[in-house]
Amino acid sequence: MTTTTHKELPSFTEYNPMEMPWTSRAIKEIFRKFDYSKGIHEVLCSGTLGSGKSLFGVHVALVCLVEDPNAKWVLGRITRPDAVDTILDTFKDHLEGDFVEGVDYEFNEVKQRWDFSWGASCFLKTWHKKRWKSYRSLKISGCILEEATENDGDYWPAYDTFYSRIGRAKAKRNLLISLTNPDSPSHPLYKKMILGSEKDPLKHVYYSDARQNPFLEPWYIPNLMKNMSPIEIARLVEGKWVEDPKGGIYYNYLRARNYRDEHYIFNLNYPIDLMHDFNIAAGKPMSMAIGQNINGIFHVAKTIIIHGADTNDMMREFGESDILKKRGYFRVFGDASGSHKDPRSKTTDYEIIENFLKRNKVNYEMCVPKSNPPIRRRHNRVNAKSCNYQRKTQLYIYKEAEKADEGFRLTKLKKGGQYLEDDSLESQHVTTAIGYWIDYEIENPPISDNVNIVMR
C-alpha cells in the first residue's frame, strides 16, 4: 500500500483543526451545533488524497472519548491489515505524546483495544468475512468507517450494521463518521449521504481538499498524480463523484495506443520479470506473463495460459521458450497466495518456481508481497499506466502477449456483487498477474529492501 508522505502528524493537543477551512467548519458544527438529542448524526468526510480526513476523524473520536467516560468508539475497515496500516496507526500517532500507556490507558494488542482510565474505550473491528451477526452485541457511541466506499455490494451491510449499534453506550454524543475518497454516484453512500443530506438534518457532508493540508510536502500532490488516470484525478484530486467513462474495468486501455503488433526485443541491461496468477479450477487457467519495466515503462512480451495445469507445467512451458536462454537477471512477481502450501506437491507455487530457476542456474529475485493489493488500487494503477493524466502511455502489450490485450479490453466486474472481476473470461487472469507486477513496482521503487535475491 502507498504511504502518504507528510510532515510529522500532530498529537492530540498539537492538532489545530482551524488550520484548514473544511476541518474548521466541521469541528465547530460537530461540537457546537449538532443537536444530539435528535438521534445519531452521520458525517461523511469526502475528499482528496492527503486532505487530512483520517486525522480529523480520529481527533473527533478522541475528543469524544476524553470528554465522556461512557464513550465507546469503533475504528473500522474491511480488512485488518489495511485497518492497521491506516486508521489504527493514525489513532496511535494521535495519542502519542499526550497519553501514557499504563497511566491514561491500557492497550490490548491482541484485541486492538484501548481502555482509558476514566472508563471510555476504543477498539478495532473488521468484517472481510461478513459475519454481521457477531456485531449484534456491540454497544457503542461512535464509529469511524475508513475508506467507506470499499463497502459496496455484499459489504454494504457494514454501514447499517454499525449504525444500528450506535446509541447503546448511553454517551453524550452519537456519531457515525465515514471517511472516503469520491467514487461513482452509483455507490450507495452517494445516495445515503450526499443526496440524503439535502433533506435529513442528521446527515452532514464535508468536502476536503489536499491542497489545503499544511502537513503535506508541496511536491506530494504533483508526484502522486504521475501514477493516476484522468478519472482518478477527477475523483482523488478534484474531489468529484463521477462515473467511469467506459463500462470496462480497464477503461484507459486502448488497443490502438497500448498494443504493438511486433515481437518484443528484450533489453538485458534490465531484469526480465515473470508475473503469475495461480488457478486450477475449470475455466480458471494458470496464467503467466513475461515482461520488463524499463525506466517506468511496462512492456509485456509474452503470456502463457494453460488450463488444467499446475505450476510445474507452467514453468516447463516457460522453459521451452527462448527467453530462459537469454541468461538475464530474472524477477518473480504475482499472487501472494502462491506462498501457501500446495497440497498436491507439499511445496508452495513460489518454491516450485525458485527450484526451477535454481536448476537452470539463473540469477533471480523474489518480489512477492505478503498480501495482495486492494483490487481497486490494482485496477487504478493499470489504468494510470495505460494513459495517465499527462496523456503519457507507460504500458505496452506485444504480439506474443495478445491474450493480455484481450483481457484488458474485455474484463468487467461481476454483476450484482462485491467489487470483483468477472473471472469467467479466460484472459482476465493474466491481466491480474500484470496488475500485481505494476502495483509491486509502484510500491517498491526502484528495489525493495525486503526482497530475497539469489545469485547463481
CATH code (residue 91): 3.40.50.300
- Residue 337 pLDDT: 83
Q: Is 287 found in the same domain as 230?
A: no
Q: Which of 63 and 209 is assigned the larger pLDDT?
A: 63
Q: Is 372 found in the same domain as 228?
A: no
- Residue 283 pLDDT: 59
Q: Is 181 found in the same domain as 103?
A: yes
Q: Is 210 found in the same domain as 65?
A: yes
| Whether the Cβ atoms of residue 326 and residue 360 lie closer than 8 Å to each other | no
Q: Is 333 found in the same domain as 226?
A: no
Q: Global pTM?
A: 0.58
Least confident of 165-169, 324-328, 340-344, 440-444: 340-344
Q: Is 200 found in the same domain as 349?
A: no
In a domain? residue 247: no
Q: Is the pLDDT of residue 306 over 70?
A: yes
In a domain? residue 36: yes
Strand, coil or helix: 126: coil
In a domain? residue 6: no
- Residues 431 and 420: their CA atoms lie apart, in Å, by 13
Q: What's the grid cell of residue 265?
A: 526485443
Q: How confident is the model at residue 417 (pLDDT cuts 50, 70, 90)?
A: low
Percent above pLDDT 70 for the chain:
92
Number of domains in the chain: 2
- CATH number of 444's domain: 3.30.420.280
Examine the fold and report which residue of 187, 211, 237 is the final residue of a domain before the chain moves on.
Answer: 237
Stretch (H or E) spanning 57 = helix 53-67
Percent above pLDDT 90 for the chain:
60
- Residue 284 pLDDT: 77
- Residues 53 and 76: their CA atoms lie apart, in Å, by 14
In a domain? residue 7: no
**Which regions of 250-350 does DSSP assign to beta strands (E)?**
259-260, 272-277, 286-294, 297-306, 329-334, 341-342, 347-348
In a domain? residue 442: yes
Q: What's the grid cell of residue 306?
A: 494453460
Q: Is 107 found in the same domain as 221?
A: yes
**pLDDT tens string 144-185:** 999 999 998 889 999 999 999 999 999 999 999 999 988 877
Examine the fold and report which residue of 237, 270, 286 is the final residue of a domain before the chain moves on.
Answer: 237
**pLDDT tens string 202-247:** 999 998 877 777 777 888 888 878 777 777 777 777 777 876 655 6
**Each residue of 94-105: b (16+ CB within 10 Å) or e?**
bbeeebeeeeeb
In a domain? residue 388: yes
Containing domain of residue 177, as a range?
A: 17-237
Examine the fold and report which residue of 177, 208, 237 is the final residue of a domain before the chain moves on.
Answer: 237
In a domain? residue 2: no
In a domain? residue 413: yes
**pLDDT tens string 17-44:** 998 889 999 999 999 999 999 999 999 9
Per-residue pLDDT, averaged over 344-355, amounts to 84
Q: How confident is the model at residue 70 (pLDDT cuts 50, 70, 90)?
A: very high
Q: Is 380 found in the same domain as 344?
A: yes
- Residue 447 pLDDT: 56
- Residues 343 and 58: their CA atoms lie apart, in Å, by 44
Q: Is 314 found in the same domain as 174?
A: no
Per-residue pLDDT, averaged over 75-99, amounts to 93
CA-based max dimension of the chain:
74
Phi then psi for residue 308, to 5 deg, are 60, 25
Peptide bond into 373 cis (omega under 30): no
The per-residue pLDDT of the chain, averaged, comes to 88
Q: Is 273 found in the same domain as 222?
A: no
